[in-house]
Amino acid sequence: MPDTPPVFTGFVPETLKFLKALGFHQTRQWFDENRDLYVSALKDPMAAYVVALSNAFSARSIPLRGDPARAMFRLNRDIRFSKDKRPYKTNSGCVLTRTGLKGSPGIFYTHISPEGCFFAAGFYHAEPEQLLAVRRLLAAKPAEFAALEKKLSAAGLKLSDDEALTRNPRDYRDVDDRVAHAIRMKNFVVRQPVEDSLILDGAKLVTTASNFAAAATPLLEWGWRVIP
């Protein structure tokens, strides 16, 4: 039988210290020498966090789930086609989706890093056909999108304009003003920063994550209509 993740009581002070040290050393030898620290400070807490978050989401009917085997991202970097040959990431994360698989569109993501922790939810790096479907929805129902943005704003959330185009795509030069900015977006994502101290308190972290996910659910449900 698979190992049962421990009860999530929070990450530990060594979590961010380990990631910071890994960024400095970046060698397989150092990682192997500190593998026990990796497991106790990062891998085991992250696994327990995924389980706790999945349970909390289920209790609140938030349609996202995950399990440690699929939800957690590896620290190893894919350096085959990168000029940056550092073997390890200096951050850790996990993702919950409708199916529990990383590739499923519409995600809740937790980012743990010495450079800043955060939650994110939405549709990130959508495939071209998915992005086209979203743009068609925007153009067809601008009032609906305006209402969605208003609801997100009331919850303190705003869509990120990271990687947005500088001008409208060719087929969408003349669109309703309410969606002109969204037509240029390549990602439909909201984020919330997380204080370093919060990741040390398991109960508060899960509650805060659940509140954010609930507030972001209208965005996910809007996108799922055209990105199944």
Distance CA 150, CA 153 (A): 5
Using 50, 70 and 90 to split pLDDT, how confident is the model at 53? very high
Using the 8-state DSSP alphabet, how is residue 189 labeled?
A: E
Domain edges within the chain: 13-224
- Does residue 5 register a pLDDT over 90? no
**Entry pTM:** 0.94
Q: Does domain 13-224 bear CATH number 3.30.930? A: yes
The model's pLDDT over 146-205, given as tens digits with 9 standing for 90+, comes to: 999 999 999 999 999 999 999 999 999 999 999 999 999 999 999 999 999 999 999 999
- Does residue 1 register a pLDDT over 50? no
The model's pLDDT over 84-140, given as tens digits with 9 standing for 90+, comes to: 889 999 999 999 999 999 999 999 999 999 999 999 999 999 999 999 999 999 999
Query: N- to C-terminal Cα distance for the chain?
Result: 33
Q: Are 159 and 220 in contact (CB under 8 A)?
A: no
Using 50, 70 and 90 to split pLDDT, how confident is the model at 79? confident
Residues 38, 199, 56, 127, CA torsion sign: negative
Amino acid, single-letter form, for residue 165: L
Structure tokens at 142: 């601008």
Cα 155 off chain centre by = 18
SS3 38: helix
- Mean pLDDT over 2-12 rounds to 81
pLDDT score at 84: 84
> CB-based contacts of 93: which residues, under 8 Å, 6+ apart?
72, 73, 109, 110, 111, 112
pLDDT score at 3: 61
Q: Are 181 and 165 in contact (CB under 8 A)?
A: no
- Does residue 45 register a pLDDT over 90? yes
Neighbours of 29 (CB within 10 A): 8
For 208-212, the CB contacts below 8 A with 24+ separation are 208/119, 209/53, 209/56, 209/108, 209/110, 209/119, 210/53, 210/56, 210/57, 210/60, 210/62, 212/119, 212/121
- Does residue 225 register a pLDDT over 50? yes
